[in-house]
Chains A and B, each alone.
Chain A
Amino acid sequence: MAWVNAVIQGVLTGGLYALFACGLSLLFGVMKVVNLAHGDLAVIAGYVAIGIITATHMPVLWSVVVVVPVMAVLGYVLQRTVIQSSLNRGVLTTLIVTLGLSMVIENGLLQFFSADTRGIGAGMSLVTSSFSLGSQIQIAWLLVVIFAVAVVVLLGLQYFLSGSSYGRLIRAVADDQEAAQLSGADYRHVFGIAAALALGTVALGGIAYGMYSDLDPTTGTDTILLFAFVAVVIGGLGSLWGTLLGGIVLGVAQQIGAQINISDELLAGYLVFLAVLVLRPQGLTSRRAQT
């Protein structure tokens, strides 16, 4: 029964990891940017939510409605300023610039908010309550809700990308930037929209992680960024639903690792990542080899 429990918990945490990963995958798919500051931006979203909640005593779920648009606007602005100008200068520059952003954010949070861990919505009934399946399996409502949110976000992204006119623009620019530009698409604006979507989703991920666990300035790189990348690579680069699959595989691997030995939780996840690299470097969902 303990193993079944581990698998169920792993699948549900996979939803959280998909929230971290889908924005990263979108950024890579559309503009070939590997955003090393992704996790730190999620932590910023969590900190902003905490700030809003303590300042205005707004209910936690309402803070989401405020923080996600704020992060989306930040994403658009970041893309149109630093990331766009680094894109024009090559892959190395985008890596250096996002690594620089990551270091500035992480140490900025450390400097202004100390290394203390902070949770979101501690004591809230959503965070503490759970239900039982049989006698041995306890499932937290929070994880179920996060998983549902992840599925809704992925459905929304899929609908947006395939159905809306902006979505078509994004796919056109991702396919062939020059041809899209010749047809009159302003690729910079399209990139900005994609970055706004990416940061909106990762803001959800940051807040969800703050409710599920605790945030501190190093959570962004130590946990969120690495898990997001592992989920993206396991699931297959550039695949939206692959991030959910990758997140679930990572979550299950971690829970099974923890079941074997409590200190092996993280290592088990990374070992699965390395196994995927060896056996199926293009990821689980992708058919063609990546370049």
Chain B
Amino acid sequence: MSLATDTSVPISADFHVTRSRQNVAWTGLGALVVVVVLALFPYIVYSGTTAILVQAFIVLTLASMWNLMAGYAGLVSVGQQGFVGLGAYFVLILALHGLSPFAALPVAAIGCGVVALPLWWLVSRLRSGYFAIATWVLAAAIMLFIERFQSLGGGTGLPLPGFTGMNPTLITAYTYWVGLAVTAAAMLAVYVLLRGRLGLVLTAVRDDEVAARSSGARVGLARLIVFVVAGIGCAAAGGVLAISQLQVQPTAVFSVQWTAEMAFATIIGGLGTIEGPIIGTAVYMVLQQTLASYNAWYLIILGLVAIVVALFARRGLWGLVDERLHLRLFPVGYWLRTGAGNGRPRSLRN
């Protein structure tokens, strides 16, 4: 892994560094096709199916954000439900003031990004495990604070206004498209961020924080950006949740279960890869759909699977694929090629 800095290696024409062995344009095109096909779903499938997919979009968005935090920035948050709840409540507040919930969603998400700044100032004082628990306490405090407002329904919540007079079929379709758009935007944002300068800083921090700091990497700023982006993403998912449930209930939107689901989906799929959360979300949805009639069993099994994967397959299901096929659909690392077909390419970054 030290090749990048080892100056004794002669730089010759035989070496070159690429992002990936495959052409990224193809996976980009593939992703676009998937999004377009998914966008056509409301015309071809029943509303029951789109409702399940909206749930999947929420989990996938959350998992991508948690993956960005824990997998790349080393920020293990157990309090992301705070942003899910805030996003839902911001949509509710704007809708109560007459805005369409669909139009309110981006405003609410950005608003939560602004709220994330002072919250970061609070929780950034703690590291690792205590950072995790501080975010959790913060989420609990935010919920208690919001429950104080009787105009927002206090401890019981309110139905989401702004849908009166709309065709129910249209609402379902719009909800689906909004969920799809949020997920696509979240994943694109993670990909672009990690391909850019931020990705380099985060890699440097992951490999050696002290060395990164002494080389002038602005570690605190990088973590702040990740925290704010994850706040915006989780808030957007919370907004989609509010719209799809047509109501906002404090204990439901601020449930720690959201964080458990996003963390477990990420861990099962593969932490620190963009593909991981997709696989993890698929596993989660299959478990949830097949075990839905057995009450809490899917959560028990999800927890057990997450423990087993965390202990025995640290890189998750996608890690198993990657080990065998060296396949990256969304490459954010680098490959070093040594001449034409001269051995296997080495990954400079996992």
Does B287 reach chain A (CB closer than 8 Å)?
no
Q: Is A179 an interface residue, CB under 8 A from the partner?
A: no
Chain B residues near A198: list those with CB within 8 A: none
Q: Which residues does chain B contribute within 8 Å of A277, judged by CB atoms?
A: 122-123, 125-126, 134
Counted as pairs of residues, one from A and one from B, with CB atoms less than 8 Å apart, the total is 128
B137 engages A107 (CB within 8 Å):
no
Q: Is the CB of A93 within 8 A of B311?
A: yes
Residues of B within 8 A of A86 (CB): 310-311
Q: Is A273 an interface residue (CB 8 A)?
A: yes
Question: Contact: B129 with A34, CB < 8 Å?
Answer: yes
| Cα distance, A266 to B256, chains bound together (Å) | 17
A89 on the B face (CB < 8 A): yes
Q: Which of B100-147 contact A (CB under 8 A)?
A: 122-123, 125-130, 132-134, 136-138, 140-141, 144-145, 147
Residue A125 interfacial (CB < 8 Å): no
Contacts of B310 in A (CB 8 A): 86, 89, 93, 96-97, 100
Instruction: Give A102 to B257 CA distance when docked, in angstroms.
Output: 11
Among B122, B123, B145, B260, the residue within 8 A (CB) of A103 is: B260
Q: How far is the CA of A85 from the CA of B313 in the complex (A)?
A: 12
B150 to chain A, nearest CB (A): 11
Is A34's CB under 8 angstroms from B128's CB?
Answer: yes
Residues on the B chain within 8 Å of A161, using CB: none
Q: Are the C-beta atoms of A82 and B141 separated by less than 8 Å?
A: no
* A101, B305: Cα distance in complex, Å: 11
**Chain B residues, CB < 8 A from A264:** 148
Q: Is the CB of B267 within 8 A of A96?
A: yes
In the complex the two chains form, is A226's CB within 8 Å of B136's CB? Answer: yes
Report B-chain residues with C-beta under 8 Å of the C-beta of A281. 125-126
Q: Is the CB of B127 within 8 A of A233?
A: no
Minimum CB–CB distance for B60 against chain A, Å? 19
Instruction: Give complex CA distance A266, B306 in Å.
Output: 31
Task: Give the Cβ gap from A155 to chain B, nearest Cβ, in Å.
Answer: 26
Known: A233-B134, A237-B130. A93 touches B303 (CB 8 A): no
List residues of chain B with CB within 8 A of the CB of A56: none
Docked complex Cα distance between A226 and B300 (Å): 21
In Å, the complex CA distance between A108 and B302 comes to: 12
Instruction: Say yes or no: B297 contacts A111, CB within 8 Å.
Output: yes
Contact A91 B128 (CB under 8 A): yes
Interface 1/0 per residue, A215-248 and B, CB below 8 Å: 0000001000010011001000100000000000
Residue of A nearest to B304 (CB): A104
In contact, B126 and A103 (Cβ under 8 angstroms)? no
CB contacts (< 8 Å) of B127 on chain A: these are 290-291
A-B contact pairs, 12 of them (CB 8 A): A34-B133, A89-B310, A89-B311, A91-B128, A95-B132, A97-B307, A99-B263, A110-B296, A221-B256, A233-B134, A263-B147, A290-B130
Task: Give the top 7 A-B pairs by smallest Cβ distance, nearest first.
Answer: A34-B129, A103-B303, A107-B296, A270-B141, A100-B307, A104-B303, A267-B144
Inter-chain pairs besides A34-B129, A229-B133, 6 sampled, C-beta below 8 Å: A34-B132, A92-B70, A99-B260, A99-B263, A233-B130, A264-B148
Residues of chain A at the chain B interface (Cβ within 8 Å):
28, 32-34, 36, 82, 85-86, 89, 91-97, 99-104, 107-108, 110-111, 221, 226, 229-230, 233, 237, 263-264, 266-267, 270-271, 273-274, 277-278, 281, 290-291
